[in-house]
Amino acid sequence: MSEGDTSRSDRRAAARTPSLADALFSTTQQRVLGLLFGQPERSFFASEIIGLLGAGSGAVQRELAKLAGSGLLTVTRVGNQKHYHANAAAPIYPELCSLIRKTVGIADPIKRALEPVLDSMDLALVYGSVAKGAATAGSDVDLLLVSDTLTLEEVFRLLTSVEQELARKVNPTLYSPEEFARRLSDRNPFLQRILSQDVLLLKGVIPDVG
C-alpha cells in the first residue's frame, strides 16, 4: 500500500471512530440533549425542537417523553403544545450540563461544521460564557481559530448551518499563527483573559499564559 493510500485509510478510520457522545447516547438522544441541556436557560415547544433538529417527529417525541419521565426535563402545557425545559432540580443536572456542553451541546456541532478545514488549523476553541457554563438565552458562541490558510469568509460559510442547529450566533476570531504568536509574546490582554479561563478545546493545545 502506498503512503497516499495509507493516509486515506487512516482518515477513513478516524472518521469512523465513535466520539464520547456516540458511546453514551443514541443519535436522537444526542441531538435532543444537546439542544435542551446545551441551552438549559431556555425552554422549547415540541414542534420547535423537531424543527430545529430536523429529525423525525416520532423519534423526538419518544425521546422527550422518556427524558421527561426520568425527571431530566420539566414539561409545561401552553395551549395545545408542551413546553420542555432542562430540569435544574434533577440530581445530575450540573454534571449533565457540563458533559453536554463539552460534547454534543456546543463542541461537537461546531467541530463537525469545521471538519472540512480542521486539518488546516493550529488551534480551535470555544471561549466565553458558553464555555464557562454561564450563558444566557441571548449569549453568542465565541470561537477562536488559528490558521495560516483560512479566511473569515470560509469560516462564516461553514458556520451557517450550525448557528441554526444551536439557535445561537457564532462569533469567530481568526489569527494567523504569526499574529497569534506575536500577541501571546506581547501578553495581549484579550488572549491572556480568554486563555486563562475555561474553554472548550476543539483542536490543538492551549498555550500556557501563566
Domains of the chain: 19-99 (1.10.10.10), 106-203 (3.30.460.10)
In which residue are the cell numbers 419521565 written?
A: 69
Quick: pLDDT tens for 83-102: 999 999 999 999 998 888 77
C-alpha cell at 210: 501563566
Q: Name the DSSP letter for residue 207.
A: P
Reply yes or no on whether the pLDDT at 176 is more than 50. Answer: yes
DSSP, residue by residue, 126-183? EESHHHHT---TTPPEEEEEEESS--HHHHHHHHHHHHHHHTS-EEEEEE-HHHHHHH
* pLDDT band per the 50, 70, 90 thresholds, residue 186: very high
Across the range 69-75, mean pLDDT stands at: 95
* pLDDT band per the 50, 70, 90 thresholds, residue 79: confident
Q: Name the DSSP letter for residue 174.
A: E
Quick: pLDDT tens for 24-71: 777 788 889 988 988 888 899 998 998 888 778 899 999 999 999 999
Q: Establish how many alpha carbons lie within 13 A of residue 185's alpha carbon, considering only the half-sphere containing its beta carbon.
A: 6
Q: Identify the sign of the CA torsion 186, 114, 15, 200.
A: positive
The CB density around residue 111, as the number of other CB atoms within 10 Å, is: 19
pLDDT on residue 109: 84
Quick: pLDDT tens for 57-68: 899 999 999 999
Are 101 and 133 contacting, i.e. CB atoms less than 8 angstroms apart? yes
pLDDT on residue 19: 59
Q: Could you give the strand order of the β-sheet that contains 121-127, starting from the edge strand earlier in sequence?
A: 170-175, 141-147, 121-127, 200-203
Query: What is the pTM assigned to this prediction?
Result: 0.65
Are 114 and 121 contacting, i.e. CB atoms less than 8 angstroms apart? yes
Q: Which residue has the higher pLDDT, 204 or 24?
A: 204
Alpha-carbon gap, residue 107 to 114, rounded angstroms: 11
Alpha-carbon gap, residue 186 to 165, rounded angstroms: 37
